[in-house]
Amino acid sequence: KAGVTQTPRYLIKTRGQQVTLSCSPISGHRSVSWYQQTPGQGLQFLFEYFSETQRNKGNFPGRFSGRQFSNSRSEMNVSTLELGDSALYLCASSPDANEKLFFGSGTQLSVL
Amino acid sequence: AQKVTQAQTEISVVEKEDVTLDCVYETRDTTYYLFWYKQPPSGELVFLIRRNSFDEQNEISGRYSWNFQKSTSSFNFTITASQVVDSAVYFCASYSSASKIIFGSGTRLSIRP
């Protein structure tokens, strides 16, 4: 069974640009969640999608958004990038939010 | 508000020593779930264990064991006879439908040969 796939693996952007990250969950998993990991703030929850609906959202500004498609694949978008958005963005999938998470390898975003 | 505290930022032990990673959680919810995840140097987080709030049984899996105590709001993780491959960052997390998922700040464990 294929694991969680995130693309791209690395991304370099400049301030003010926008970026879209992609996540393909494990087949059959309906819950997809996104996390931001930084040395200073640790691992923080961004949002969770279940059956194409955003079910939960963390404390991030509206520049961070996401969506989930009918095949459970998910995208995360960050608009008007700031230097502080540089981080490892992790996607995880699970059958439901209270179950164990299967993480992808992440997308390392650098904002210059 | 929900909170997970991992007070130990870094731990370094010699191989074959036993080591315990502490996790203290705060929640007002009666139904919640606790997790431990391992993040090796490769970066991908790996699930270790899940416990729900109604199951206080301790668990042992090989060299790993977990002690869940609701009286002290703790969910500690012990590695017996540590090995170099255990070197990683370990995260404790809690989830409830009201508060979503919260991760602790992680404990970096280094096992010296």
DSSP-assigned letters across all residues of B32-90: -EEEEEEE-TT---EEEEEEETT----EEETTEEEEEEGGGTEEEEEESS--GGG-EEE
Tell me: the pLDDT tens digits for B71-84? 999 999 999 999 99
Question: What mean pLDDT, rounded, does chain B reach?
Answer: 94
Give the model's pLDDT for residue B46: 95
For residue B90, pLDDT over 90 is answered with: yes
Give the model's pLDDT for residue B111: 97
CB contact B41 to A (< 8 Å): no
For residue A100, pLDDT over 80 is answered with: yes
When pLDDT is averaged across residues A58-79 and rounded to a whole number, the result is: 95
Q: String of b and e for B9-34 (b: at least 16 CB within 10 Å)?
A: eebebeeeeebebbbbbebeeeebbb
Torsion on CA atoms A10, A16, A17, A21, rounded to nearest 10 = 50
CB contact under 8 A, A43 and B97: no
For residue A2, pLDDT over 70 is answered with: yes
Give the model's pLDDT for residue A54: 93
CA distance B41 to B69: 30
Tell me: the pLDDT tens digits for A44-64? 999 999 999 999 899 999 999
Question: What mean pLDDT, rounded, does chain A reach?
Answer: 94
When pLDDT is averaged across residues B37-54 and rounded to a whole number, the result is: 93
- Closest partner residue to A90 (CB to CB) among B42, B45, B101 is B45
Which residue is it, tokens 């200073």? A40
* Interface size, chain A vs chain B, as Cβ–Cβ contacts under 8 Å: 46
Q: What residues form DSSP beta bridges with A93?
A: A32, A102
Query: How many percent of chain A have pLDDT more than 70?
Result: 99
For residue A1, pLDDT over 70 is answered with: no
Tell me: the pLDDT tens digits for A82-91? 999 999 999 9
Give the model's pLDDT for residue A84: 96
